[in-house]
């Protein structure tokens, strides 16, 4: 085995995927170590899981940042190296022609939060950033500061559907409501769009006629816990 992959993790909630990765690192089934866990939401169970495993944690409270920008404005808070035109031209998250003000507010608030994340992460050496149930999208401001080597992806995400079907925040719900007979999950790299980056791995499961949405979520999560560590290991072996 080569060098141990240093993995940063970001979460927003329960952190069962994080736990699966912690367990795989501990068991030695993947050649990786988690160097930090950050969250955009304070007090979530995933932060406790990280702390129980002796992993450093931090919170960048996106909801507070967005609320403050709404009441007090955001221009004074923007990162010094923020260039709205550059970010707007690269991103594929929001249509700046349809509603320029909304798009600018979205990109500015996210960049303010992203700069705070980058500042927290700067304390750590990291090969790969793993989004484990992190429910925020990244603008090119953040992506370009992680993917610094041309052509080399360094941000991985897990999505609860078989992409390119059902992008967005409710993959299992959308799969279930469509009446699909097969569901699944996807690990992919992050690019400038939402759930559009190159696919690293996928796992599928059958949906029975008697399955409820909760059944679909439970089947999907069980697949995620196998898939995510396997994709991290694939990345470790590719270096
Ligand atoms: C997972 O279903 C993941 O695919 C989605 O959010 C959920 C996170 O679950 N993005 P957990 O926090 O890892 O338990």
- Determine the atom of ligand 1 nearest the C-alpha atom of 19: 13
Alpha-carbon gap, residue 15 to 47, rounded angstroms: 8
Residue of the CA atom closest to atom 9 of ligand 1 = 133
In whole angstroms, give the CA distance from residue 113 to residue 111. 5
Q: Please give the model's pTM, rounded to 2 decimal places.
A: 0.96
Provide the pLDDT for residue 81: 95
Ligand 1 centre to CA of 49 (Å) is 14
pLDDT tens-digit series, residues 126-181: 999 999 999 999 999 999 999 999 999 999 999 999 999 999 999 999 999 999 99
List the one residue out of 32, 39, 37 whose CA is nearest residue 64: 39
What band does 17 get if pLDDT is binned at 50, 70 and 90?
Answer: very high
Tokens for 48, please give them.
């406790």
Query: Is pLDDT of 1 > 70?
Result: no
76 CA distance to ligand 1 middle (Å): 34
CA-nearest residue for atom 8, ligand 1, is: 133
pLDDT single digits (tens) 78-112: 999 999 999 999 999 998 889 999 999 999 999 99
pLDDT band at residue 3, thresholds of 50, 70 and 90? confident
> Ligand 1 in contact with 183 (CB < 6 A)?
no
Helix (H, G, I), strand (E, B) or coil at 37: strand
**Ligand 1 pocket member 224 (CB < 6 A):** yes
Strands 155-159 and 128-131, by their bridges, are: parallel
In the β-sheet with 128-131, what is the strand arrangement from edge to edge? 57-59, 32-39, 5-11, 128-131, 155-159, 182-189, 199-206
Catalytic residue set: 159
Classify strands 199-206 and 57-59 as parallel, antiparallel or unpaired: unpaired
C-alpha pair distances (Å), 145 with each of 110, 128, 129, 180: 14, 13, 12, 38
Side-chain half-sphere exposure of 152, counting CA atoms within 13 A: 13
184 neighbors 158 (Cβ within 8 angstroms): no
| Nearest Cα residue to atom 5 of ligand 1 | 133
Q: Residue length, the chain?
A: 239
Shortest-distance atom of ligand 1 to CA 169: 10
pLDDT in tens, 189-224: 999 999 999 999 999 999 999 999 999 999 999 999
The residue whose C-alpha atom lies closest to atom 14 belonging to ligand 1 is: 16
Nearest atom in ligand 1 to the alpha carbon of residue 220 is: 2
């Amino acid at each position: 085995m080569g060098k141990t992959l240093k993995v940063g993790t970001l979460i927003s909630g329960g952190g069962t995927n994080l736990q699966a990765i912690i367990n795989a690192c501990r068991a030695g089934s993947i050649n990786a170590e988690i160097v930090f866990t950050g969250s955009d939401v304070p007090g979530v169970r995933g932060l406790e899981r990280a702390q129980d495993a002796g992993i450093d944690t931090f919170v960048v409270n996106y909801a507070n940042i967005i609320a403050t920008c709404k009441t007090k404005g955001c221009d004074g808070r923007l990162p010094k190296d923020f260039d709205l035109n550059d970010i707007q031209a690269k991103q594929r998250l929001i249509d700046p022609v349809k509603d320029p003000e909304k798009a600018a507010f979205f990109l500015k608030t996210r960049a303010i939060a992203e700069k705070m994340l980058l500042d927290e992460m700067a304390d750590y050496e990291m090969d790969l950033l793993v989004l484990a149930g992190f429910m925020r999208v990244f603008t090119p401001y953040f992506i370009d500061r992680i993917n610094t080597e041309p052509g080399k992806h360094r941000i991985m995400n897990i999505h609860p559907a078989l992409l390119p079907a059902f992008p967005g925040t409710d993959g299992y719900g959308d799969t279930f409501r469509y009446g699909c007979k097969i569901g699944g999950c996807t690990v992919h790299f992050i690019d400038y769009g939402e759930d559009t980056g190159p696919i690293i791995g996928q796992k599928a499961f059958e949906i029975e006629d008697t399955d409820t949405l909760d059944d679909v979520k439970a089947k999907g999560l069980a697949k995620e816990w196998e898939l995510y560590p396997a994709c991290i290991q694939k990345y470790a072996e590719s270096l």
